[in-house]
Structure 1
Amino acid sequence: MEQLLDQLEQAYGKHPAGREALRQFALDNMVDAQASGQPREWLIREYVDELRRLFLTTPRAPLAAILPDVFGHSFNQIEGGRFAAFAVSLWYDRDDPTPTLQAAVLSLAEVERRQAVYLVDSLRRNACMSDERYEQLTAFALGWSELKPAEIDPALRQLAERYQLSQVAMEWGLCDDASHLLQYSLPYQKRIFSEPARRQ
């Protein structure tokens, strides 16, 4: 549980209720769930989901404050917790993120623009967000499609065929991808258990 709370705090910031209150809330919820006779795996899933729901209601840093830590850097320079905060903001913030994304991308050089739009393009394929948010992020990514190379570099295609480069990164003409960062966003996919399919 402590590791989960560490991850949640890293992405969302400390919850106003404090750790002890969160532990007690989750444990009380588990006691109620245990009385229902559900299997252990189901109980653990509910326990983790309940903590996520609590953190998703916590005020977070605005997207504009997160982007300088994500855009304009090589993927290896991006800190996992900040990337998770970026993903959570894209998926769940109430306001449409595309104006903020657009302004940030316009300030970047071409290669950095491709890297930035690739990150959005990768995250928009997850099934955890609302249909409206999916459509917003898809329109944003498609709006920058002129950055994609007209022809795929054979060397990049070979890397993708060997599973050393993601298909999405290859399409954007990038020789590196953010696969190691995407794992940091996994704990914050609210519908990961009920909707495992990914959008294209």
Structure 2
Amino acid sequence: MEYEASLDRALEAVPDIGSAGERLSVPDAVAQTDGAFTRFTNLDAVADALNRETDHVHRFVQQTLATSGKLSEGVGRYNGNFDSRDFERVVDDYTEEYVRCSECGLPDTRLVQENRNLMLRCDACGAFRPVSKSTRTDDSGATEDDVEAGNTYTVKVTDTGRKGDGVAHRGDYTIFVPGADEGDVVDIYIESTSGNLAFSRLA
């Protein structure tokens, strides 16, 4: 009897973690056309529901949609015509990669940096996994995959942007290459960078 009573008390002390659906309630994305741009008007609310920094979600939107954009007062403004379904698809991808635990399925996670690797650590079950690849650094602290304005690189164009520009990738950077087609291997000159986006011309 004493054992059963102790077991009952222990079970009562265990919190009810509920289901992943109960824990995560994300508002539907709201898209608003603004000329040649599209606003993600409730980006801040979406990021808050995911318990992530708005800027981090914003940069993921840019990279996934292969476009440039600007974040101002919690609203994302992106170059190109998108609709709510585009943004919702990106939010779903972000949630799977940066929020939901791959072991227990719960969103009770946080992003932590370990040995220059970004890791997703679950506070519900204790699991953790990497969410981005690490890059080696030299003695100056710069990574071998850094992209800097004024430098020339050889890249392979792997995608096509919304405006028809070629899109290449180097490390964590998305590089727009006007005049190049998917599959091309080209030398490019970096004219400018913004966050993890780079804008180039053929060298």
TM-score interval, smaller chain: under 0.3
Structure with larger RCO (C-alpha < 8 A, sep 6+): 1
Structure (1 or 2) with the larger CA radius of gyration: 2
TM-score (norm 2): 0.25
**Structure with the higher helix share, 1 or 2:** 1
TM-score (norm 1): 0.25
